[in-house]
C-alpha cells in the first residue's frame, strides 16, 4: 500500500493514468475554441460525458478538494450543464432511487458558470448559437440518451470491443461497473462478470443490432423474396459447414425466430436429423410454426446447457441474449454453429452474406 502511494503523483488521488483523461478534457476545450462545429460539439460532449465526467463522478481525480471543485466547474463548461447536477442524477441511477435536485454551493457556482457560457456563445451571433452550438449540444445530449438507454434496454449490458474500450476508457464494461461502481476504470477488464449480458455493438449504436435483426425477421414474414434470399444464403453456408462434420443426427437450434430459416435449411440438408427449437418467446414460436414440419420439436424455454445435452450440432443465433463467449470457450455440444457479425471471425467459418453482415463460425469440442 505504501509503495502505491509513493508511486502516485501527489496531485492525483487514484492513478497517474487519470492525467490522460484530464489532458483530453483540456483538448476538448481547445477544439471548441479553435474549430467549433455542430458535429464536433456533439461527439465531444458524448465522449466527455462518458469518459472524463463519468469517471470523475465515481472517483474524483485529485487529492485537493479545491482542485476537484475547479475541475467539476470546467467539466460543466464542456458539457454545457452543471457537472454536479449530472453527478447527482447518475448516483441516484446507481442507487436505484428517484433523483431530486439538492442545492449546494458547488451546484450554484456551476449554474453561474454554465449560464455565463451560454451568454458568451449567444453573443457570437444567432446563426452560430442556433446552428452550431445549440444543434451540437442537443445532438450530444441525444447521443448520451441513446448511450444510457441501450446500456439498460434489456437489463445492464456490457460491450467488450477493444477499440471502443480503448477510446472510451473501458466504458463498455457496464455490467462490471454496476457490480463495482467504485472500481477504477483501469481495473474493470480484470473484473469481468461471468455470464454477463453483453453486445457486439457499443451502446450508442446498439439500436442497429436490435432494429436490424427484429425488422429483418418481421419483413421476412411478409416478403417471400426476402425469405428465399435468406434461406438460400444460409443453406449455402450450412452446406459448407456440414461437409466437414461427421453425419449429424440430432440438431438443437436456440431461438426459433420469427422466421425459422435455420430449421428450414437443416430440414433440407439433413432430412433424417431430429431438429429441436428452443425459444423463450411463445409469440415467436407461434409465428414460426406455420413454416415448420411436424418433425420439428419445439421447446418453449430459455437456453440452458442441459437442454442441449443430446445435440450433435447446436446452432446459436445472432440475436442470442447471453454469454456468447461461453460457446467458444466451453462448447456444450460436439459441434456448434455460432451466427456472428461478419467481422468477428473465430476459427473455421463461412460468410452467410455481405448484405446481411453475417457469418457462421464453427466451434468443435
Mean pLDDT is lowest, of 58-67, 92-101, 182-191, for 92-101
pLDDT of residue 153: 76
Task: Tell me if 38 is assigned to some domain.
Answer: yes
pLDDT of residue 346: 82
CATH number, domain containing residue 271: 3.40.50.150
Matching residue, cell 440452458: 304
Please say which residue of 105, 132, 150 terminates a domain.
150
In this structure, are 359 and 274 located in the same domain?
A: yes
In this structure, are 14 and 130 located in the same domain?
A: yes
pLDDT of residue 136: 95
In this structure, are 132 and 41 located in the same domain?
A: yes
pLDDT at 9 over 70: no
In this structure, are 9 and 136 located in the same domain?
A: yes
Please say which residue of 120, 150, 180 terminates a domain.
150
308 within 8 A of 329, measured Cβ to Cβ = no
Burial of 268-280, coded b for 16+ CB within 10 Å and e otherwise, reads ebbeebbbbbbbe
**By residue range, what is the domain housing residue 41?**
2-150
Task: Tell me if 203 is assigned to some domain.
Answer: no
Q: Which helix (H) or strand (E) holds 250?
A: strand 250-254
Per-residue pLDDT tens for 292-348?
777 788 888 878 888 888 888 988 887 776 777 788 888 888 889 888 878 878 878
In this structure, are 101 and 232 located in the same domain?
A: no
In this structure, are 227 and 90 located in the same domain?
A: no
Please say which residue of 150, 178, 212 terminates a domain.
150
Task: Tell me if 291 is assigned to some domain.
Answer: yes
Per-residue pLDDT tens for 81-94?
999 999 999 999 99
pLDDT of residue 257: 61
Backbone angles phi, psi at 83, to 5 degrees: -60, -35
Task: Tell me if 182 is assigned to some domain.
Answer: no
Per-residue pLDDT tens for 192-220?
998 788 887 888 887 766 555 555 565 55
Number of domains in the chain: 2
In this structure, are 128 and 237 located in the same domain?
A: no
* Torsion on CA atoms 318, 319, 320, 326, rounded to nearest 10: 40
In this structure, are 143 and 8 located in the same domain?
A: yes
pLDDT of residue 6: 45
Q: Which of 194, 203, 197 is nearest to 165 (CA)?
A: 203
* Cα 350 to Cα 358: distance, rounded to the nearest angstrom: 9
pLDDT of residue 217: 60
| Residues of the chain above pLDDT 70, percent | 92
Measured from the Cβ of residue 352, the count of other Cβ atoms closer than 10 Å reads 22
In this structure, are 139 and 238 located in the same domain?
A: no
Work out the mean pLDDT of the chain and round it to a whole number. Answer: 86
Per-residue pLDDT tens for 103-127?
999 999 999 999 999 999 999 999 9
In this structure, are 7 and 130 located in the same domain?
A: yes
Task: Tell me if 60 is assigned to some domain.
Answer: yes
pLDDT of residue 2: 42
Task: Tell me if 208 is assigned to some domain.
Answer: no
In this structure, are 252 and 134 located in the same domain?
A: no
pLDDT of residue 216: 56
In this structure, are 109 and 230 located in the same domain?
A: no
Task: Look up the pTM and report it.
Answer: 0.64
Task: Tell me if 31 is assigned to some domain.
Answer: yes
* Cα 282 to Cα 23: distance, rounded to the nearest angstrom: 52
Segment 26-32 mean pLDDT:
94
Task: Tell me if 175 is assigned to some domain.
Answer: no
Amino acid at each position: 500500500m505504501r509503495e502505491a502511494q509513493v508511486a502516485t503523483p501527489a496531485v492525483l488521488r487514484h492513478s497517474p493514468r487519470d492525467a490522460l483523461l484530464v489532458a483530453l478534457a483540456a483538448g476538448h476545450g481547445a477544439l471548441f475554441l479553435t474549430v467549433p462545429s455542430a458535429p464536433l460539439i456533439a461527439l465531444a460532449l458524448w465522449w466527455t460525458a462518458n469518459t472524463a465526467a463519468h469517471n470523475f463522478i465515481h472517483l474524483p481525480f485529485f487529492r485537493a478538494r479545491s482542485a476537484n471543485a475547479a475541475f467539476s466547474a470546467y467539466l460543466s463548461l464542456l458539457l454545457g450543464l452543471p457537472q454536479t447536477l449530472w453527478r447527482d442524477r447518475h448516483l441516484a441511477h446507481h442507487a436505484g432511487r428517484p433523483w431530486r435536485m439538492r442545492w449546494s454551493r458547488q451546484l450554484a457556482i456551476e449554474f453561474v458558470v454554465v449560464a455565463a457560457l451560454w451568454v458568451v456563445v449567444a453573443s457570437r451571433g444567432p446563426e452560430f448559437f442556433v446552428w452550431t452550438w445549440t444543434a451540437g449540444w442537443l445532438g450530444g445530449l441525444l447521443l448520451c440518451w441513446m448511450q444510457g438507454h441501450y446500456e439498460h434496454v434489456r437489463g445492464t449490458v456490457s460491450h467488450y470491443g477493444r477499440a471502443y474500450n480503448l477510446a472510451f476508457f473501458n466504458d463498455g464494461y457496464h455490467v462490471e461497473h454496476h457490480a463495482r461502481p467504485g472500481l477504477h476504470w483501469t481495473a474493470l477488464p480484470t473484473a469481468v462478470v461471468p455470464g454477463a449480458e453483453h453486445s457486439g455493438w457499443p451502446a450508442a449504436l446498439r439500436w442497429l443490432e436490435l432494429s436490424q435483426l427484429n425488422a429483418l425477421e418481421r419483413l421476412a414474414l411478409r416478403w417471400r423474396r426476402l425469405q428465399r434470399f435468406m434461406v438460400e444464403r444460409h443453406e449455402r453456408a450450412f452446406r459448407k459447414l456440414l461437409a466437414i462434420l461427421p453425419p449429424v443426427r440430432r440438431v438443437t437450434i436456440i431461438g426459433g425466430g420469427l422466421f425459422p430459416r435455420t430449421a428450414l435449411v437443416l430440414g433440407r440438408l439433413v432430412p433424417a436429423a431430429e431438429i429441436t427449437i428452443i425459444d423463450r418467446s411463445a409469440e415467436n414460436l407461434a409465428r414460426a410454426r406455420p413454416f415448420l414440419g411436424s418433425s420439428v420439436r419445439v421447446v418453449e424455454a430459455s437456453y440452458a446447457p442441459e437442454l442441449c445435452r443430446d445435440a450433435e450440432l447446436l446452432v446459436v443465433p445472432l440475436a442470442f441474449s447471453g454469454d456468447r463467449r461461453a460457446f467458444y470457450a466451453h462448447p456444450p455440444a460436439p459441434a456448434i454453429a455460432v451466427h456472428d457479425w461478419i467481422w468477428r471471425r473465430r476459427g473455421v467459418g463461412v460468410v452467410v452474406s455481405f448484405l446481411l453482415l453475417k457469418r457462421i463460425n464453427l466451434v468443435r469440442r
